[in-house]
């Protein structure tokens, strides 16, 4: 545990996001207490990604009880122009975006803006953002409703899209994600309960939706799910 994390959490680090750029691995992670927004996103780096090789780089962004956002669930994106961005957020004011300095992995000194991307005015339950570029658009995948309740979980995976990484994002019906919009991609079905916490991963010729869920036949055991994504004639993802 990095020393600074004890101010936000007393033993657990959450929601890792790992990627490799310019020969170096970057691990973004969250330190928080469940149900509170006294939280921080940290960064660790490694040349090899081997256990024991990671070096703590400190806090990227934090939030506190007086803030209208929650600094957890980080997701790094490099856009089509080479700019770096970090999406994050859970409940409170929803999903946010900041620009990242590629030289150090921290928030860019020249741009301290926090861009609001998605929220649910009628229900605050939105989190686990991941932005994926496809066919000259950016697709914002999020998780709706309640996680982490085993077979009582009500997670869904939803999506909206934009021509700009900073938004605005709209769902298939034209409803802004900032106004509660979101087209459902995956919900509970059969023995798959509460899918969410998703990322999209490009692997060879495939694009994969990767997520966690609870096994309805095994007392809600946490499981990892993968599905190939296909894109319809209007450019919307489905599995």
Top CATH class, 3-197: mainly beta
pLDDT score at 10 = 74
Q: What is the pTM of this model?
A: 0.95
Q: How many CB atoms lie within 10 A of CB 219?
A: 9
pLDDT score at 196 = 97
Dihedral sign of CA atoms 50, 108, 2, 66 in order: negative
pLDDT score at 168 = 98
pLDDT score at 121 = 85
- The pLDDT profile of the chain, 239 residues, written as one tens digit per residue, is 899 999 998 778 989 999 999 899 999 999 998 889 999 999 999 999 999 999 999 999 999 999 999 999 999 999 999 999 999 999 999 999 999 999 999 999 999 999 999 999 888 899 999 999 999 999 999 999 999 999 999 999 999 999 999 999 999 999 999 999 999 999 999 999 999 999 999 999 899 999 999 999 999 999 999 999 999 999 999 99
């Amino acid at each position: 545990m990095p020393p600074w994390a004890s101010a936000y959490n007393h033993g657990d680090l959450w929601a890792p996001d790992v990627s490799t750029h310019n020969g170096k691995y970057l691990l973004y992670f969250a330190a928080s207490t469940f149900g509170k927004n006294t939280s921080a996103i940290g960064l660790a780096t490694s040349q090899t990604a081997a256990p024991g090789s990671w070096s703590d780089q400190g806090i990227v962004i934090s939030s506190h009880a007086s803030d209208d956002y929650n600094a957890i669930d980080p997701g790094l994106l490099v856009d089509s122009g080479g700019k770096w961005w970090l999406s994050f957020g859970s409940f409170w004011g929803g999903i946010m975006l900041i620009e990242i300095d590629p030289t150090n992995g921290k928030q860019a000194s020249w741009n301290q803006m926090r861009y609001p991307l998605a929220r649910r005015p009628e229900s605050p339950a939105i989190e686990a953002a991941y932005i994926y570029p496809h066919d000259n658009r950016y697709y914002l995948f999020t998780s709706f409703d309640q996680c982490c309740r085993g077979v009582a979980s009500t997670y869904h995976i939803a999506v909206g899209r934009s021509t700009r990484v900073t938004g605005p994002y709209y769902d298939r019906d034209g409803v802004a994600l900032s106004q509660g919009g979101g087209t459902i991609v995956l919900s509970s079905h059969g023995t798959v309960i509460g899918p969410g916490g998703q990322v999209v991963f490009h692997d060879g010729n495939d694009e994969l939706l990767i997520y966690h869920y609870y096994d309805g036949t095994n007392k809600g055991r946490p499981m990892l799910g993968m599905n190939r994504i296909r894109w319809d004639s209007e450019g919307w993802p489905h599995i």
